[in-house]
Structure 1
Amino acid sequence: MPYIILGTIISALILRYFWPSIVYRKSAGQSHKNLNEDDYYINSKTEGGKNFNTRLLLKQTILFLVFWIFPLVLFYLLSKDFTFWKGLILFFTQTALFTIGGSYTVLPYVAQFSVSKFNWLSKSQMVDGFALAETTPGPLIIVVCYVGFMAGFNHFGGSLLMGTAGLLATTFYTFLPSFLFIFIGGPILERTRGSNVISDVLGFVTTAVVGVILNLTFYLGKDVLFPQGLMLNKIDLMALLWIAVSLFLIFKLRLNIVYLILISMLYGLFQYYFI
């Protein structure tokens, strides 16, 4: 996914340079007449990146590196399998730094690598993690915490302690870069306010993110409809039926997604006990 986003940015810049007429350009400046008093106050206070401070930026970066390195050193000193922990830490740091678009774009990337490359958990366990996240309070991104737990749990022979350590490490290294973006990236972002180039590039990135979200649909749909392999005679007809019913309830009857999840849980229980 990082390569897709990078390619999208490069493509947007090339298209904008050679064929500017096909690129939608947002207005660089918004008239104060179109802003309410609150918006005008906020824009006037932050205009031009006045809060940008190079020395503060350097201090924050060093502090971020200290926070990042400290748990890694502890794992090196205390763990007998540092290779596993180093791989987990580097992967989730990379995931947090280089994925764009929210949980629905991050999770296909996490699922692909954790299942297919690292073998931290099975496909069915990954799908169970999605279901668990959808049926419990909190944002969908908490699936990565589940992945971290299962990685430690499976790698160390069913150890709850190592699973818990994996959960904590994954949570820490997934959300730590967010603070880097907020405190360091915020002032830098203010300097780009009103830039037509940034607006055009982000428009292209948005379309790429939609495609990545669609990829998550295929990833989950394939394993739900074909749990025994991609063969037409092995399709799960009950799952196919409920997909059709869910689409009808959402798009035709405009059913609230919370009610759909609750109904789906009841449908799953009925299928498990009576079919």
Structure 2
Amino acid sequence: MAGLAGIAWTFLKIGMIFFGGGYVLVPLLHRLMVDEYGWLSLKEFLDGVALSQLTPGPLAMLATFSGFRAGGFAGGLVATIAIFLPCTLLMLAISSRYEKFRSMELIRKCLDGILPAVVGLVAAAAFNLGMTSLSAPPDFLLLFAGMALLQFTRISPMVVILGAGAIGYLFSF
């Protein structure tokens, strides 16, 4: 069981770089939670990623799950607070100056430069998840069917996730 201070410090550091959407954190969370600290097994990590998609703030909820596995209820609470604390403080600090920051050329150029990195990190996360969870033809069939449904229909992602889970469950028999 990890100490609460260690959990807090780990998720505070992650929270400091948590921008661009949660998927940019998947490779980092995988390395820390599975490989480095051993707080989660690979299966638990993948299950946590899948289940977190059913909640608001999906991958931040993976922090709650990881913190819980590392330190019980208190660990989950500490991990959740720590991952959200930096962005909350940043928003409180800059929200009153939003219009001024939005019009600054330097800020716009920095954000334009960050965007390709975020896209690359999301692609890396998708690749890492695919390498660990796509192992049989039915897995690829579900992947492409889900992508097609999301791209060409107005079906809710929640329905696609739940449907894929149900089909995966049926394939397990």
TM-score, normalized by length of structure 1? Answer: 0.57
Aligned identity (percent) is 27
Aligned to 2:25: 106
1:138 aligns with 2:56: yes
Matched residue of 1:215: which SS? helix
Alignment of 1:177-188 (within 5 A): 177-187=86-96
Give 1:124 deviation, angstroms: 1.0
- How many Å separate the matches in 2 of 1:200 and 1:178? 21
Residue 12 of structure 1 corresponds to: none
The 3 A distance-change label for structure 1 pair 251 and 179 is closer
The higher radius of gyration belongs to 1
2: CA distance, partners of 1:249 / 1:191: 41
| Structure 1 unmatched runs, 5+ | 1-80, 153-162, 226-234
CA offset digits 1:46-100 (Å, max 9, x no partner): xxxxxxxxxxxxxxxxxxxxxxxxxxxxxxxxxxx8x733322111111111232
Shift in CA distance, 176/240, structure 1 to aligned 2, threshold 3 Å? same
Secondary structure of 2:3's counterpart equals helix
Corresponding position: 1:175 with 2:93: no
2: CA distance between counterparts of 1:84 and 1:205? 34
Asked if 1:245 corresponds to 2:145, the answer is yes
User: What amino acid is the match of 1:184?
Assistant: A
Deviation at 1:170, TM superposition (A): 0.5
* Rounded Cα–Cα distance in structure 1 between residues aligned with 2:36 and 2:12: 17
Give 1:254 deviation, angstroms. Answer: 4.8
Amino acid in the other structure paired with 1:238:
P
Q: State the shift of 1:114 in Å.
A: 1.4
Q: In the alignment, is the contact (CA less than 8 A) between 2:66 and 2:76 conserved in 1?
A: yes
1:72-83 equivalence runs, <5 A: none
| Counterpart pick for 2:121 among 204, 212, 216 | 212
TM-score, with structure 2 as normaliser: 0.87
- Number of residue pairs the alignment of both structures matches: 172
